[in-house]
Structure 1
Amino acid sequence: MTHPPRCSPGTNGPSTVLILGARGRLGLAAARAFAQAGWQVLAQVRPAARGPALPAIPGVWWMPVAVDDTAALAAQAQCAQVVVHALNPAYTHKAWREEVPALMEAAIAVTRQLRATLMLPGNVYNFGEAMPPVLREDTPQAATGFKGRMRVQLEQRLHAATQGGEMRAIVLRAGDFFGSGTGSWIDQAIAKDLPQGRITWPGPPDVATPWAYLPDLARTFVRVAQERDRLAAFECLHFAGHHATAQPWLHSFTAIAAEQGWLPAAGALRVGRLPWPLLRVMGWVVPTFAALADMRYLWTTPHRLDNIRLRALIGDEPHTPFDQAVRQALADLGLVTSPTPRAVLA
């Protein structure tokens, strides 16, 4: 759908959400989840952006409007009570330094104009290399890297933006994303050589870290949005997702490889290690590698996200069983057949 629904602010029509960056993995997963929950979805994308054709999703209206054109966005999204910030620049330090603050200001501007609630996906960068094994909403934030410090600043800016009463905000913090297409550790490193019988694990195999299966996280955004009036003007909630070492991943990958005929003659997947020192050296030439190298501590420091406050608000998290989520994530990459209809998982 290309023309957003007309409405008058303050009417008792369907709940409406504006998703900024709806072409991305999280944005598209959120669009599907909100639409399936009965919301009207206004899906912002860059005008004339290159890429695959926008999918036709019932209940989703695609809006090719520049994110910093506040007047045009607000005019087309006047119905929206919730704004989801799913904008995501390139992974490099330069892109973050130049684009991330501006994207946040654009999101705040349109949310204020709409007098809505802004929802931001958070991550664990805020806590730094000395983070404790259990991360709660009140865990002190002691970021040690460039991106961690920037994430802290962004959340502080968002908090400040809610003080005037023109908008509300929710940070929903989660671990590493997987599922819903390309652009994660799974396709870029861990399982990129799975059809050749090999995986590459970035850290010690016994270190457990949090993973967010994107369709589950997207449904959690919907559930939190539906309960937003029970929250303070600014809130942070933690999404636990899957807490896993390398072993469950290896188990799932091995089962899938056996079915696909990808196992080596020895009957077991070959497991390689990510060459972190080489990434650091190559970072002098390829900025993305330098940014990745700065995140090595996330693979060597055991941690998990405590979701007690989230469960008190919405009940149990949406939670796809791990093996099923891994299989669907590989299906989204075109490597295997989907185990379940997309409508169930999206």
Structure 2
Amino acid sequence: MATRPLETGRTALVLGVGGGIGSEVARQLAGAGWRVRALQRATSVTGAAGTSAATEATTNALDIERIQGDAMDRDAVLRAAQGCDVIVHAVNPPGYRRWAELVLPMIDNTVAAAQAVGATVVLPGTVYNFGPEALPLVGEDAPQHPRTRKGAIRVALEQRLEAASAQGVRSIIVRAGDFFGPRVGNSWLAQGFLKAGQPLRTVREPGRRGVGHAWAYVPDVARTMRELIEQRATLAPFARFHVAGHWDADGTQMAAAICRVAQRHGLQVQRKPFPWPLIYALAPFATTPREMLEMRYLWRETLELDNAKLVATLGREPHTPLDTALEATLAGLGYLGESVHALALAQ
């Protein structure tokens, strides 16, 4: 990825640079000439979800300023934010753990820092905010009545940003479906459809046939965020956008595309149902299976994101063809051989 010369007055702080979306936004901002700063810990219980060896290697290769600190430490966030025009809040507790006690204090610290330095907050959003009454086609202003604890926390997080807009803090929220990408190790695709760390022989399908599902290729989402950041002065103080991403209209297209890409690389892959009975059996004893069950409704009901507002703002939505995106993803996750793996991560 070519890097343009740094331009003055364009400095961004990325919280969660060790995660899939945080690292990709940092990468794209740096490539567009931004000065990028990262607040990160060597070992973190509050680091971004999705950290992988590939993500870490890519992040370490970026020309960014690194500041040691924790997103739970308000003073550390304030120090790191000095001189910044934008704060990308891409930090989440890993593995679904401790959401209730960590998510809101972290956004409060980001808001305080943004208010102190006059920065715009940029937040990668999710579909967890929405319950059945908003489905199937969901716009930015759809009612938010989540049916899960994590969804309620996401709603409260966004409400913090909306309230802060009355105090002069500008924010941009970009909501998208299930993330996937070459540097995203903690995702439904990497750990649900596929078996992490094992050869690619099986694709497990968690959804019901006929039920649509929204997917988002992380490089496309990051580019969308970067382009909105460039236009931040023209946006509303509290601006929300939806990324349509890759829409699987009947719940079968993602698995079919994985098999198609794998076959082009000489791999024969079978499609099987996701082992939900095993998840039910494990749920009483482990946090991650419990949270997976809580979010299962997203595999049973159609939720499509309406991107009309985004298209009206940018003129189009950044979009990589599905097979191209999946080939880069499978290569980046190490399923297509070492030479292809290295090539995918170099892009």
Q: Same fold (TM over 0.5)?
A: yes
Q: 2:235 aligns to what?
A: 231
Superposed displacement of residue 95, structure 1 = 1.0
Which of 119, 128, 133 is matched with 1:125 structurally?
128
Give the Cα–Cα distance (whole angstroms) in 2 for the partners of residues 26 and 110 of structure 1: 21
Give the Cα–Cα distance (whole angstroms) in 2 for the partners of residues 137 and 258 of structure 1: 38
Distance 1:168 1:285, change over 3 A: same
* CA displacement 1:114-144 (0-9 Å, x = unmatched): 2111111111111113432110012111211
Q: Are positions 1:202 and 2:197 aligned together?
A: no
| Structure 2 residue matching 1:126: 3-state secondary structure | coil
Q: 2:74 aligns to what?
A: 70
CA contact (8 A) 1:85 1:120 kept: yes
Write the mapping of 1:14-93 to structure 2, written as runs, cut at 5 A. Answer: 14-47=9-42, 49=44, 55-92=59-96
Distance 1:58 1:273, change over 3 A: closer
CA contact (8 A) 2:12 2:84 kept: yes
Q: What one-letter code is carried by the residue in structure 1 that aligns with 2:176?
A: A
TM-score by length of 1: 0.87
CA contact (8 A) 2:200 2:335 kept: no
How many pairs were matched up?
326
Q: 1:258 aligns to what?
A: 263
Q: What one-letter code is carried by the residue in structure 2 that aligns with 1:15?
A: R
Superposed displacement of residue 340, structure 1 = 6.4
Superposed displacement of residue 247, structure 1 = 3.3
| Structure 2 residue matching 1:144: 3-state secondary structure | coil
Superposed displacement of residue 97, structure 1 = 1.0
Distance 1:279 1:131, change over 3 A: farther
CA contact (8 A) 1:119 1:170 kept: yes
Superposed displacement of residue 45, structure 1 = 0.9
Could you list the runs of 5+ residues in structure 1 that have no partner in the other structure? 1-11, 264-268
Q: Are positions 1:295 and 2:280 aligned together?
A: no
Give the Cα–Cα distance (whole angstroms) in 1 for the partners of residues 76 and 302 of structure 2: 45
Q: Are positions 1:103 and 2:98 aligned together?
A: no
Q: 1:9 aligns to what?
A: none
Give the Cα–Cα distance (whole angstroms) in 1 for the partners of residues 92 and 157 of structure 2: 13
Superposed displacement of residue 257, structure 1 = 2.9
Q: What one-letter code is carried by the residue in structure 2 that aligns with 1:274?
A: F
Q: What one-letter code is carried by the residue in structure 1 that aligns with 2:130?
A: F
Q: 1:240 aligns to what?
A: 244
Give the Cα–Cα distance (whole angstroms) in 2 for the partners of residues 182 and 96 of structure 1: 19
CA contact (8 A) 2:332 2:342 kept: no
Give the Cα–Cα distance (whole angstroms) in 1 for the partners of residues 113 and 213 of structure 2: 35
Q: 1:163 aligns to what?
A: 166
Q: What one-letter code is carried by the residue in structure 1 that aligns with 2:236?
A: A
TM-score by length of 2: 0.87
Give the Cα–Cα distance (whole angstroms) in 2 for the partners of residues 70 and 233 of structure 1: 23
Superposed displacement of residue 87, structure 1 = 0.5
CA contact (8 A) 1:39 1:59 kept: no
| Structure 1 residue matching 2:144: 3-state secondary structure | coil
Superposed displacement of residue 60, structure 1 = 1.6
Distance 1:71 1:100, change over 3 A: closer
CA contact (8 A) 2:78 2:112 kept: no
Give the Cα–Cα distance (whole angstroms) in 1 for the partners of residues 255 and 236 of structure 2: 41
Q: 1:320 aligns to what?
A: 320
Give the Cα–Cα distance (whole angstroms) in 1 for the partners of residues 28 and 233 of structure 2: 20
Superposed displacement of residue 68, structure 1 = 3.4
Give the Cα–Cα distance (whole angstroms) in 1 for the partners of residues 258 and 344 of structure 2: 21
CA contact (8 A) 2:205 2:255 kept: no
CA contact (8 A) 2:39 2:80 kept: no
Larger Rg computed on CA atoms: 1
Q: Are positions 1:212 and 2:216 aligned together?
A: yes
Write the mapping of 1:257-296 to structure 2, written as runs, cut at 5 A. Answer: 257-263=262-268, 269-296=269-296
CA contact (8 A) 1:19 1:44 kept: yes
Distance 1:66 1:47, change over 3 A: farther
Superposed displacement of residue 282, structure 1 = 1.4
CA RMSD of aligned residues (A): 2.3
Superposed displacement of residue 98, structure 1 = 1.4
Superposed displacement of residue 196, structure 1 = 5.1
Which of 174, 177, 180 is matched with 2:176 structurally?
174
Identity %: 37
CA contact (8 A) 2:114 2:120 kept: yes
Give the Cα–Cα distance (whole angstroms) in 1 for the partners of residues 279 and 344 of structure 2: 38
Superposed displacement of residue 339, structure 1 = 9.9
* CA displacement 1:154-202 (0-9 Å, x = unmatched): 111221122112x111111110000123101112120228835321000
